[in-house]
Amino acid sequence: MLAAGLGTRFARAVPKLKLAVPIGGVPLMHYPLTSLAAAGIDRIIVVVNNRTMGTVKEVVESAPQVITDNVDIEFVINSAPERGNGYSLLLALPHINESRFIVSMADHIYPPRLVKLVYNTSGSALGGDSSPKYINVSESTRIHVEGGKVVRVGKGIEPYEFVDVGVHVLERDLNYPKCSIEDTIELSSLLECLARESVIKVADITGVPWTEIDTYEDYVEVTSGSRRAVLEEVLSEWRDLGISVRE
């Protein structure tokens, strides 16, 4: 889980760490943590920066019982978050023992079934939505596919067929060294490089509601606007799985 960002755009409006801001009575970071746990993930490596480490730990320690009882949480420090979220992923790699693993952004809201759809795609796959309803597409990371394979990943690219949902499954033996030579490594550029070296597909989750919280405007839309539908869907799926939440 990539949680080392400083959230500067959000911080200009709300003087509090974005991942700790309550949404529907639940700290933002609890959403991806809980949905991952509910989907059967039992070990999560959280990459944080040294400035927000204390707050992030507090948020994780207050997580629902499905996490505290069933998930082993390990923290990895990114002392240079300005180097990008791709760099955060590279820092986590030495701590990953499994042949395949999930990568999730810490500020995305999605239900457990989205995790299962992504993970059940064979090999390496980027979670993609061909018709996203609850994000600002103009600011989104996009995915271009040719012949069933990812060829480009990035903001503003044309053409594109999918929007990046922020949840992916990657193989441990991809050519990370060849794709990690720059000082600043954004996740999109890292994924595009890996796709040039190996076959990476798209896990199509179109129709499953999800959203992301980048700005204060996103927060307003989720709490009281059109994106509230995502929140209600996720909380409903949690309840169906017997996960209690505080609203």
pLDDT of res. 15: 59
Span 229-246, pLDDT tens digits: 999 999 999 999 999 775
Report which residue type is found at 140.
S
Span 141-173, pLDDT tens digits: 999 999 999 999 999 999 999 999 999 999 999
Residues across the chain:
247
Pairwise CA distance, residues 118 & 125, whole Å: 7
pLDDT of res. 205: 98
Contact in structure between 179 and 190 (CB atoms under 8 Å): yes
Contact in structure between 218 and 140 (CB atoms under 8 Å): no
SS3 content of the chain, % helix, strand, coil (to 5): 35, 25, 40
Instruction: Kindly calculate the radius of gyration of the chain based on its CA atoms and give it in whole angstroms.
Output: 17
CA atoms within 13 A on the CB side of 74: 12
**Ranges of the chain with pLDDT below 70:** 7-9, 11-15, 246-247
CATH 3.30.70.20 fits 2-240, yes or no: no
Domain boundaries, the chain: 2-240
Instruction: Reply yes or no: is the peptide bond before residue 159 cis, omega within 30 of 0.
Output: yes
Contact in structure between 205 and 216 (CB atoms under 8 Å): no
Q: 246: which 2 tokens?
A: 């505080």
pLDDT of res. 191: 98
Prediction pTM value: 0.95
Extended beta strands in 62-221, E state:
72-78, 100-104, 108-109, 124-129, 141-146, 149-155, 162-171, 200-204, 211-212
pLDDT of res. 8: 63
pLDDT of res. 228: 96
Span 92-102, pLDDT tens digits: 999 999 999 99
Give the count of beta carbons closer than 10 Å to the beta carbon of residue 218.
23
pLDDT of res. 13: 59
